[in-house]
Amino acid sequence: MNFDLRMDGKVAIVTGGAMGLGKGVAKGFASLGADVVIADINEKAGRETADAIAKEGGKASFYSLDVTDSGQFEQMVKDTTGKLKRIDVLVNNAGIATKADCIDMKVEDYRRIIDINLTGVWIGGRAVAPVMIEQKYGKIINMCSLFGFVALAGLSAYASSKGGVSQLTKTLALELVDHNINVNAVAPAYIETEMTNNARTDKARFEDILRRTPKNRLGTIEEVVGPVVFLASELSSFMVGETMLVDGGWTAW
Ligand SMILES: NC(=O)c1ccc[n+]([C@@H]2O[C@H](COP(=O)([O-])OP(=O)(O)OC[C@H]3O[C@@H](n4cnc5c(N)ncnc54)[C@H](O)[C@@H]3O)[C@@H](O)[C@H]2O)c1
């Protein structure tokens, strides 16, 4: 068993790597020696993150990508293998969240959430799989959510997308297991990122979150990066189609 978490010589793509959890994962991977491609729709923030990593001595570049566009995703995979020769890890992290009751939500807003959070993950796995099959090695890590397991009023689109990510993770894992490719997912509860700004500033909502979380606080970005690094390493080589909850105990009671 290789207990080394170092990622020297590994190439990793992180979608939605410009900000929040993706940025944390990109920084974490780079600090372990990986060559990281930050693939994000937000060009300004994405370039800033790549530059900040490079300033600290890490290897990182930015690629402008909308994960809902399969042509763009396939082109990124082609350009990355052209430049960096391989793709060892793909973290399908890009995602959005909107809170509104089903009857108040516009159909186009529902579709946008499913398109980015679920279809984008499907597109990503499909785009990178041929390269990983060819090299007989790969780790695909999908960003699910606590709300892939439990529900909360107002999250019909988001929870549906994340429930789908968990099932997609299992299915793709079975399709790729014979090629030495591990597909797994991480399912965080509320973490301190821009995405949870509204939940944190709404006093009643924030108190409800704390009441449901035995840890009595939100998680930090680093507390999600750890499980992602684990899934990108050989320590998780027997894990296939798993979605790991990182929820401060929310689902333990
Ligand atoms: N923050 C949390 O509490 C939490 C909890 C569970 C799961 N998650 C999941 O983690 C992931 C990251 O969340 P976050 O909190 O870091 O969010 P965030 O809003 O801070 O960052 C999301 C990133 O995704 C990018 N993005 C959005 N749409 C995109 C698209 N179409 N193509 C490419 N990039 C796109 C954004 O530009 C941004 O850089 C999401 O999938 C989210 O659902 C977050």
The pLDDT of residue 1: 79
The pLDDT-based confidence of 77 (bands split at 50, 70, 90) is very high
Answer whether residue 3 is part of any domain: no
Mean per-residue pLDDT for 199-225? Answer: 96
For residue 10, give both structure tokens: 């590994």
φ, ψ of residue 139 in degrees (nearest 5): -130, 120
- Would the pLDDT of 24 be above 90? yes
Minimum CA distance residue for ligand 1 atom 36 = 16
Q: By residue range, what is the domain housing residue 82? A: 11-244
The pLDDT-based confidence of 205 (bands split at 50, 70, 90) is very high
The pLDDT-based confidence of 203 (bands split at 50, 70, 90) is very high
The pLDDT of residue 78: 98
Answer whether residue 60 is part of any domain: yes
Q: What is the mean pLDDT of the chain?
A: 98
Answer whether residue 6 is part of any domain: no
Cβ 135 under 6 angstroms from ligand 1 = no
Minimum CA distance residue for ligand 1 atom 43 = 95
Nearest atom within ligand 1 for CA of residue 219: 3
The pLDDT of residue 126: 98
CA of 93 to the centre of ligand 1 (A): 6
The pLDDT of residue 2: 79
Cβ 148 under 6 angstroms from ligand 1 = no
Q: How far is CA 61 from CA 39, 131, 187, in A?
A: 9, 19, 26
Answer whether residue 108 is part of any domain: yes
The pLDDT tens digits of the residues spanning 127-141 come to 999 999 999 999 999
The pLDDT tens digits of the residues spanning 142-157 come to 999 999 999 999 999 9
What b/e string do you get for 115-154 counting C-beta neighbours within 10 Å, with b at 16 or more? Answer: bbbbbbbbbbbebbbebbeebebbbbbbbbbbbbbbeeeb
Cβ 194 under 6 angstroms from ligand 1 = yes
Answer whether residue 197 is part of any domain: yes
Answer whether residue 249 is part of any domain: no
CA of 143 to the centre of ligand 1 (A): 9
Contacts of 54 (CB under 8 A, 6+ apart): 60
Q: pTM surpassing 0.95?
A: yes
The pLDDT tens digits of the residues spanning 31-45 come to 999 999 999 999 999
Minimum CA distance residue for ligand 1 atom 7 = 145
Residue located via tokens 């800033």: 48
Mean per-residue pLDDT for 55-84? Answer: 98
CATH number at residue 15: 3.40.50.720
The count of domains in the chain is 1
The pLDDT of residue 11: 99
Answer whether residue 4 is part of any domain: no
Mean per-residue pLDDT for 65-71? Answer: 99
Just list the catalytic residues. 158
The pLDDT of residue 12: 99
Answer whether residue 98 is part of any domain: yes
The pLDDT of residue 145: 98
The pLDDT tens digits of the residues spanning 1-11 come to 778 999 999 99
